[in-house]
Amino acid sequence: MSQSDDRKLPPPPSPSPSVSWRDQVILPTLLAGIAGGGYGLVSKHRKVYGAANVSATYATNFAIVTGCYCGAREFVRVTRKSDPDDLLNSAMGGFGCGALLGRLQGGQAGAIKYSVLFAVGGTAFDYTVMKLRPIFATNDWFKLPEWSPIKVLNEEELAAKQAREEKLFTQRGLAKLNKEES
């Protein structure tokens, strides 16, 4: 064996833990809070309790549940030193999060029900997101129809448009000055 075979290569650099937590916990929690607030705006309870109160309640509850689940899933991932796409992290994190929230909500029976619900539901959701991520990662999934008035311009078309707008702006400015002078 040569000396180069005896040396071990260093492991590849892993992303900063704060980046991982931001992407895996904080962002989904904020999105869930926004979704909860939106759901509260269309809830049937908004007429009785007020739209602001119902929206705030739903936003808070969605954010708490999502933050707890995503935090538990990320804690399990870091503890196991596994990939972010490992579904066992989702199942174990969902089980722990469901047991905690279920215990707070409904005692021991609630803990059992919630732990199974969160483990199955969270894992199914993570599996779906994992399968749909490549589809949404490309820009080809959403195209405007040809009849749409919204057009995506390349650099040349954008420069020509800005030149036309500048010309129209100067013409309008001169027309206003002529009206003020007369």
Report whether pLDDT(18) > 70. no
The reply to whether 77 falls in a domain is yes
The reply to whether 10 falls in a domain is no
Which residue from 163, 164, 140, 135 is spatially nearest to 152, judged by alpha carbons?
Answer: 140
What pTM was computed for the model?
A: 0.65
The reply to whether 5 falls in a domain is no
- The total number of structural domains in the chain stands at 2
- The lowest-confidence range among 9-13, 66-70, 149-153 is 9-13
The reply to whether 95 falls in a domain is yes
85-96 per-residue burial string, b: 16 or more CB within 10 A, e: under 16:
ebeebbbbbbbb
Give, for 133, the enclosing helix (H) or strand (E). Answer: helix 87-137
Domain residues for the domain of 182 are 143-182
Q: Do 99 and 126 lie in a common domain?
A: yes
60-76 per-residue burial string, b: 16 or more CB within 10 A, e: under 16:
eebbebbbbbbbbbbbb
| Token representation of residue 152 | 């995506």
The reply to whether 97 falls in a domain is yes
**Residue 23: predicted pLDDT:** 80
Q: Do 116 and 152 lie in a common domain?
A: no
pLDDT single digits (tens) 144-168? 777 888 877 889 989 999 999 888 8
The reply to whether 162 falls in a domain is yes
CA atoms within 13 A on the CB side of 96: 15
The reply to whether 6 falls in a domain is no
